[in-house]
Structure formats: C-alpha cells, structure tokens
Structure 1
Amino acid sequence: MEKVNYDKTSLRFAEVLDNFETVTANPDIFLEDVTDGRVKMKLLGKEFDLELENTHILNDDAKVLIDNETGSYAIPAAKINTYRGKVVGEENSDVGFAVSDEALIGHIEVGSTYYAIEATNKTVGGKVILVVFSSDNIKKREDKIINYCEVEEQSSLEDLSNIKESDSYTILSTTYIDILPAYDQDFKNIYGSDSTAQAEILSRINDAGNAYSPASVVFRITNYKKYGYLSSGTG
C-alpha cells in the first residue's frame, strides 16, 4: 500500500473517525504474494504476518442481472477473490479480505483491536483511494461508538462454536447457502464502480461466512441483482 495525500474532510469517513490514513493498493502484488497462503501487510505502522486461504464465495461464471429503466439484461460480474485467516502467532485473531482488480478491502482483528481497509468512491492516478483506520479511531458520542457501516450490532454467535457431539448428533454436515445479493445505483455510487461495490458485498458476506463456519455453513454467490435508483422504503 502507498500513502496518498487527499482532503480527508471531503470523505464520508471524516464524520465517524477521529483519524485515518488514505492509501492506494496494488491488488496484483497481494494476489501474487498470497499464492503460498502467507502475506505480510503493514497497517498504521504495524506489520502483520497473515495466514490466509481462498474462500471461493463467488462463482467463476457469476453475472450481474441488471433491471433498470433501460430494460433487463445480464453482464459478467467482476472477478473478485475472497480470503479468510488469522495473524500468525495470534490465536485470538481474525482476518478477511476481498480483492478485485481495482481495490483491496477487508479487516485484521487482533484481540480487542480492529483494523479496517475501506473503499471510497475517489481515485488518484486511476487507483481507488482506500481508508485505513483502527477501532481506536472511531468517534464516540454520548458514550456510544458510532457504527461506521450503519449496521446494527447483533449478539455474538459464540453458541455456534460450542457445538458438541451427542448420541443423536455426531456428524456435522456442511450446509451450502446460495445467495443473490441485490444493490442499486446509490450503493454503487458510494463505492465508485460496480467492481468495488461488488467487492464490498463480498467482503461482508465473507465476514458472515466466517461467523457461521463453526456451524459448517458455507455461503456462495451465483449472481448479483442490480437495480436503478430505488426510492426510500422500496422492498
């Protein structure tokens, strides 16, 4: 990753973060480096030795099923790789990435500290500007931490990791769930391109897959559905 100078006040992250870095990434270097399952990455001055595996969430022939004012048609989805793993030597760690030709987004969690790489809809020199921050950078208001991705926190899924053998349930079979994520033009505009918007979707589903993996649940995306501009409250 390479640091870039940018007007941080113009980015949506300025509303929820006290401090963050703006960088660009070289996804090709990451993809070349991860072939042996190990990657070294430096975030916010800290170096992490990562152990990763490809989660293969996206089908190779996935398409975007478009339905807007111009009609209905399909185009090939962006080629995006997803990875999950851990920080070497840190048992209480969790790592997840979604990597496209344009951007690299994801997180590294060690203990109680969360490091994030998020995409913006801005570019410099043809490269997507990424925002890097840690959980320590999230602003607090009225003793409550602002949730930057506007998703309500849910109770932990720790019960899923405590599944034990019993006389009636001795083999945990894998359940595959095919998902059709849908997004609209507003969501695409937040991330600047369809490729980066799809990478954001994959990153979220990749994280969900990690939460459900102790229960042998595997999420897969066969296609995306994309709409035009939807009015507020549209189902």
Structure 2
Amino acid sequence: MFTNFKNLQNLYLQNTRTNRIEAEAFSVINNLNKLYLTNNYLEKISSNIFPVYNALHTLDLSHNLLNDLSEFDISMFPSIVFLNISHNRLEYLPENIMNKLKEENKFYLIADNNPWNCEHPGWVQHLTTIFIDAFCTNNNYDSRKVEEKMEKLSTGYLVYKDDTGIWSVCSAKCAFNHCLIWMFGAVWFGIILGNTCKIKRLLFTEPTRYEDKAIQCGKYKNISLT
C-alpha cells in the first residue's frame, strides 16, 4: 500500500475502524515522522509494524481499545518525543516505557482515561510517588494544551491535570535533579551562615598599618620609640 509513498512523513488513519495492523505494514516508510491512529478499534500495537531504523517523532494511539503494550518496544524509537495512549483500556505500562519516562531527556506521555491498576504485578515495583499521583487518581487534562507546551519543556514528563490545575508532572529524573540543586544550595548557605563573623572581619576590618606593627613589637621588646 505504501510502496509508492516511501517519503511520506505525516500519516493520519483516524476513524477508519482499523482493528489490526499487520507486521511490517509501515516498514517501507523510513521517513515517517508523525502517525495518528486515533479513534479506531486497535486492541494491540506492535513495534514490528515499523522499519527497524525509523524517524518517528509522534505516535497518537488515543481512543482505541488497547489493553496491552507489551509488544510495543519503545526502545526501537530513539526519536520519539510524543506518545498519546489516552482513552484506552490499559491497566499498566511496560517497564521499557517507565524507564524512558525516568531517563529520557525529552519525552511526553499522555495517559489519561485508562483503567490503571496500581496493584498490577507488571509495574507495581516501578511506581514512584509521581507515577502513583498520575496513574492512581482520576485526573484528566486537555491534550491540546499539552501539544502547545511540548516545545517549551525539556525533560521526561507524564502529562495530566492534577487538583491544582498543573498540566505536567516532572519525572523521577527531573525531581532528583531538583533535589540535588536544593541540597547543594543548602550546604553552601550553611557554610556561609556559619562563617558570617569571619567574612565580616575580612570585608570590613581595616588592615593593620606597618607603623602599628612596629609599635607593637617595640612594646613587647621594651624598646622605647620616639
């Protein structure tokens, strides 16, 4: 089907009632950058439908019937930045997607409106406080606002709307980096505070003149100075 469209970059297959995609379906589209498979009947998605070396940036799988992502190896997509899996039937995320959220410098996952099961054995050991807040609550968000913010953010993000109206949640890596910054700053603040007197003397004490030193030496040696 795509043999004559090898240079295709953006592909929209929305509202097509697709329920299955065969292996290597997009294997000849090496330049595919954005793929939208929204509003279909997909129950599973496999990474083998794409070429081994691909340039995929955006993959939108929202509004389908996905119940399992175990066959989707996200490590095969080094260029992917935006993955939308909202409005499906997913109960957990596979480890490779969790790791990408924690480690990738720039990656956005849209994951609301799924029946997430935080006690599922497939990911319970990977859940952090941030993930629990995102997946184990009923928070929703407007994905259009997320797309507007994509280029303004620079680290791995879970995107959802919490009770305060925030549209993105920093990943574990980002939170850890912020902690290091605060710890480093606190240590230096403590050092400065503990040495306030010494710093004050260094900055505001008038240096001793040579004549004063001579007078002091004369006193200790009982030398009379005229």
Superposition TM-score, scaled by structure 1 size: 0.26
Structure with more of its chain in helix, by fraction: 2
Greater strand fraction, Structure 1 or Structure 2: 1
Larger RCO: 1 or 2 (CA < 8 Å, sep 6+): 1
TM-score, normalised on structure 2? Answer: 0.26
